[in-house]
A and B are shown apart, each in its own frame.
Chain A
Amino acid sequence: MGEEKKAVIKKIQATGQMKKIMADYFYDLDNAAKDDSQKVAWCTSVGPAELLLSMGFKVYYPENHGAMLGATRMASNLIPAANAIGYSPDICSYLTSDIGSYLKKQTPLSMAYKGIEGVPKPDVLVFNTNQCRDVQDWLSWYSREFNAPIIGISTFCNIGDVTDGVLSGIVHQIKELIPILEKVSGNKFDIDKFREVMARSKRCSELWKKVLETNTASPAPMSFFDATIHMGPAVVLRGSDTANDYYELLLKELEERVANKTGAVEDEKFRLYWEGMPIWGKLRNLSEFFISLNTAVIASTYCNSWIFNAFDPDDPFLSMARAYTEIFIVRDENYKEKYIEDIVDRFKLDGIVFHDSKTCPNNSNNRYGMPERLAKKLSVPTLTINGDLNDLRCYSEEQAKTNIEAFIEQLDSK
């Protein structure tokens, strides 16, 4: 012994194309921010992006920037700056690292894309609280900073059935955004354009779902860690042909892997579910660690969050309200348990890893006894690891790895 087994991540060939379209997206945004005739809207990642796109806005997603701050491990140095102005270290570390990034004028965008000096200045900020309240507080800070209007949708939380009563309220809120968006953009709302964007987003969602479903194959062609990167276009470019073309390409490659029985993990022995947020600063590290244990982490709630089954161009308002309200994070425990149960069954999983993300209570599903209930109900062991989406001060690598390794040993001894 003496050192841990080395592992190699198999490169997905489509990655090059993804990097190109993401770069184009950020340069396009940067140009728009420098051009008075083009308007920039900031939008929450599961927000009414299609409406904004249909009205001619260039759409920027702060959560995507937050994830970049985590993945580049810049976050831990930036969070304290936000803490110092009154944002607690216990709240969303996307928020704190992003505000810290702004305060310290450090962004991964300027490192990755030459000529981009900062995030694009917003003309309007649009939120949906379907994921959490923090997104509203987050965008509110920038609204004050840039003196730009903030508008949004307050979604119910912990709901079981998505009833007509729930949806009518959301539809009403979406429609109320329009006059303000018309004023800021200078463009009249056009339902046909809205339908067109919805149709493209629907296609994006269908393709992304197919991409993720390739992992029902054994061995699974793509890891959860790969998927968190490749979902980038579904987050920031949905509603465009560019995203759809990309997922056609990725899907083809993954289907080839399935046909050739090429797994993301060599000699795949165990298949796991990752529940909760990624630990962005440790994606590669954890990916390699699981590979060294011949374990494929291949299904997650997180990556599935950008599947919007309900999108329907024929009924854009109601279907958008439904799509953005029926996502996992909005739902009650019963729904969530059934959802995970279905995936464990279909993807033939051996265990579930819950990530208790210190600053993301809304997307940490271990805290109300779910791991224990699911372990009993499904006869599938569960493991909870403590960490955080961005704040690596909340993550003990040694402890997490010992827990994961012990979990695999437990599966191995069954």
Chain B
Amino acid sequence: MDYYAGIDIGASTTKAVIIDDNREIIGHAVVDSGADFEKAGKQAFDSACEMCHCDNPDEIIVTSTGYGRNNVPFAKGTMTEISCHATGSYHYFPFTQTLIDIGGQDSKTIKINESGKRTNFKMNRKCAAGTGAFLEEIAIRLKIPLEQLNELAEKAEKTIPIGSYCTVFTGTEILARIREGVAVADIVKGIFISVIKRVLEMDTMDGNIVMSGGVIAHNPYLVKMFEERIGQKVYVPPHPQLTGAFGAALYSINGKGGFNA
């Protein structure tokens, strides 16, 4: 059986996925991207290979994606994360959809038609609001471990509006809420609502809605809140953080080996 891989080097984390002929994920890994993308890509790939006990990693066709897509010397081709997320999501949800991916450094909305073709996409502008970086910044400010945000938001009793447009302004807005004695859990929920608002102002929500990305993987309550906000079910792929890497692996299996191959 042949194996195929996708490596997604994002601004925050690097993801590797190995799939078999049946498009099943048999190995995967997530590592910090750090300051050496090439090293991170290799590390993630090696870990994923180890997971599926692959003896001949050199024979695996690799497609790389993400900001560091050109930093994987052993990749046969590259595709942008926009294409890879779309391909990865459509594999699980083969219908017309608006895919929302919330990554470490950027958020994107991708429109996919009934045959899986992309018809449009948008990325957030220069500002980090509505991205993982925004949540990281707020967690630091509130002195809360990042992994506790989800649990705290779930415990919130009130909805605190956080209206600012940029991360720095939000930081000062939070200081005001702290001064007023607002519970930290309520502030965190307010922050989640802020992320949702930033996404909703990026594009219209047409067809079925799918959410992916690291922020979704670690904060499933955000999906629930999003569903409540739009009054519609939100689909989430099995490994939301790996959607881009999985999509890249599908490009490998399709024999295209990437756009530049």
A-side interface residues toward B, CB under 8 Å?
1-5, 375, 381, 384, 386, 394, 396, 398-399, 402-403, 405-406, 409-410, 412-414
Contact = CB atoms under 8 A, between A and B. Distances in A.
Given A386-B125, A386-B126, A398 B67 contact: yes
Contacts of A409: 79-80, 82-83, 118, 259
B221 interface: no
Interface in B56-112: 64, 67, 69-73, 75-83, 106
A399 B121 contact: no
Given A2-B72, A396-B126, A399-B123, 4 more contacts: A394-B126, A402-B82, A409-B80, A409-B259
A405 B67 CA distance: 12
Contact of A399 (B69, B78, B106): B106
A402 B120 contact: no
B117 interface: yes
A414 B117 CA distance: 7
Interface residues of B, number: 29
Contact of A381 (B76, B81, B120): B120
Interface string B241-261: 000000000000000001110
Nearest to B118: A410
Nearest to A385: B123
Contact of B80 (A375, A396, A402): A402
Given A396-B126, A399-B126, A406 B117 contact: no
Q: Closest 3 interchain pairs by CB?
A: A406-B82, A2-B73, A406-B80
A175 to B, nearest CB: 46
B70 A2 contact: yes
Nearest to B203: A372
Given A399-B106, A406-B82, A381 B119 contact: yes
A399 B105 CA distance: 10
Contact of B67 (A2, A5, A402): A402
A394 B117 CA distance: 31
Contacts of B80: 402, 405-406, 409
A20 B80 CA distance: 43
B259 A412 contact: yes
A375 B119 CA distance: 10
Contacts of A398: 67
A396 B67 CA distance: 12
Contacts of B121: 406, 410
Nearest to A410: B118
Contacts of B75: 1-2
Contact of A1 (B73, B83, B118, B125): B73
B123 A402 contact: yes
Contacts of A396: 126
A394 B126 CA distance: 8
B82 A5 contact: no
Given A386-B126, A402-B81, A2 B71 contact: yes
Nearest to B38: A2
B114 to A, nearest CB: 14
A332 B210 CA distance: 38
A4 B260 CA distance: 9
A210 B210 CA distance: 49
A403 B73 CA distance: 22
29 contacts: A1-B69, A1-B70, A1-B73, A1-B77, A1-B260, A2-B71, A2-B73, A2-B75, A5-B260, A375-B120, A381-B119, A384-B122, A394-B126, A396-B126, A398-B67, A402-B80, A402-B82, A402-B123, A403-B82, A406-B81, A406-B83, A406-B121, A409-B82, A410-B118, A410-B119, A410-B121, A413-B83, A413-B118, A414-B117
